[in-house]
Structure 1
Amino acid sequence: MHHRTVEELMTRGVVRARRDTPFKELVRLLAENDVTALPVVDELDRPMGVVSEGDLLRKSADQADPSGTVPVPNLEAWERAKAEGSRAEELMSAPAVCARPEWNVVEAARLMETQGVKRLPVVDEADRLLGIVSRGDLLRVFLRRDEAIREEITRDVLRRTLGLEPSDVTVEVRDGRVALSGTVGHRSLIPVVEQLCRGVDGVVSVTEHLAPRTDDAGH
């Protein structure tokens, strides 16, 4: 099986900011490039942090309402510092949470989830910026054609990994939903087949109607 890598999915030619990029220039870069966040890099092009629309909006949220009907929010000290910032290094979320180009979709998705971020700058061995990968980029694996998913399961999971004959298990895929039917050697192999199929890029769900030739569940 071949999980798609970050390098295959990331956006190259990333628009970036420098640590001294002023607030208005950050807003302009976001608007002109139709992006919602920018990596902030140092003099060696190494990501220091990421500045997003959310980071910049703190400045607007911290302003008093002219009508006096909306109270000024009670911000934490770090939020107040961001709201009062005027340059990228003062406004960004830091440190930057980065990915490597050789990581697969699963590794990148787990890091995004655990760190609560929407995008990851991608860096090389010297921590220089190569690209950026977003949640939307990772979701592109679910655009794989059903036939491509079926071929990978049949060839890589069933034949190469498990040594099953094509006549043993029938694989049907519709909108990423995999249905397995047929027979396998032992009952204990059924959850293994199911788990391996779930690990194929683009698979949304797996249902199985597999019968064992030998019931080894008690051993």
Structure 2
Amino acid sequence: MLEHRTVGQLMTRKVARVQRGTMFREIVAVLKENDITAVPVVDDAGHPVGVVSEADLLTGGGEGGHAAATAETLMTSPAVCAGPGWSFVEAAHVMKEHRVKRLPVVDEEGRLVGIVSRGDLLDVFLRPDHAIRAEIIEDVVVRALHEPPSAVGVEVGDGLVTLSGSLRRKSLIPVLVQMCRGVDGVVAVREHLTFDIDDTADTPGE
């Protein structure tokens, strides 16, 4: 079965971070030095406890003002995190659900090991067309459906997959299309396929 690329493959491993007690000005400096718009806040064991974004800095500060604000008073908490084994589809769903642009990535002990952003996930759709075509032919047509590679014509342009040719059974056509949609980098699939046997016809009642 085909598997999407994982968060662990897409994430940035070198992650800037701040502590709960990091002061406002230092947080601003960390964002600027690393050219980022948000930074995870971790405890002494390296577990993410929140995230401080530019929006938090602009709206936070409380009664003591920005100068007295710390990461703990400014951060959005709890931190919404991902695991390195998540697929990019799972990460995208969680980002959408929680309306966040990035997810700290934690290991089995909950320690920060990376960060994945919306931009990292979108990189999946920049896969070269020839790599997408090769995966469809080798992993979908040959290995999954046990069809000869010559049975299906596969053309890929800017992530759009066009399928032509003939399959043994009609029931394989929607299976092939669905599996192609699951290949990383595929934007859409269109098919012009024929078949040798219609195995989708209703079976006469007994």
Q: Above 0.5 in TM-score?
A: yes
Report % sequence identity.
58
- Do structure 1's residue 38 and structure 2's residue 21 form an aligned pair? no
1:166 corresponding residue in structure 2: 149
2:20 corresponding residue in structure 1: 19
- Is the Cα contact below 8 Å between 2:60 and 2:74 reproduced in 1? no
Gaps spanning 5+ residues in structure 1: where? 61-79
The alpha carbon displacement at 1:24 in A equals: 1.2
Alignment of 1:171-182 (within 5 A): 171-182=154-165
The alpha carbon displacement at 1:168 in A equals: 1.1
Supply the RMSD in Å over aligned alpha carbons.
1.9
In 1, Cα distance between the equivalents of 2:198 and 2:104?
49
Structure 1 stretches of 4+ with a deviation exceeding 6 A read none
Alignment of 1:96-135 (within 5 A): 96-135=79-118
In 2, Cα distance between the equivalents of 1:13 and 1:145?
26
The alpha carbon displacement at 1:185 in A equals: 2.0
**C-alpha deviations, 1:98-143, integer Å up to 9, x for none?**
1111212112111112221111101111100001000101111111
Size of the aligned set, in residue pairs, is 200
In 2, Cα distance between the equivalents of 1:3 and 1:40?
29
The alpha carbon displacement at 1:193 in A equals: 0.7
Letter in 2 for 1:204: V
The alpha carbon displacement at 1:187 in A equals: 2.0
Letter in 2 for 1:23: F
DSSP 3-state at the match of 2:149: coil
Alignment of 1:122-201 (within 5 A): 122-201=105-184
In 2, Cα distance between the equivalents of 1:209 and 1:90?
58
The alpha carbon displacement at 1:218 in A equals: 3.1
**C-alpha deviations, 1:58-116, integer Å up to 9, x for none?**
149xxxxxxxxxxxxxxxxxxx78x8771111111111111111212112111112221
In 1, Cα distance between the equivalents of 2:150 and 2:35?
50
DSSP 3-state at the match of 2:104: strand
Letter in 1 for 2:15: V
In 2, Cα distance between the equivalents of 1:59 and 1:50?
13
TM-score if structure 2 supplies the norm length?
0.91
Letter in 1 for 2:156: V
The 10-residue stretch of structure 1 (193-202 or 209-218) with the greater mean CA deviation from structure 2: 209-218
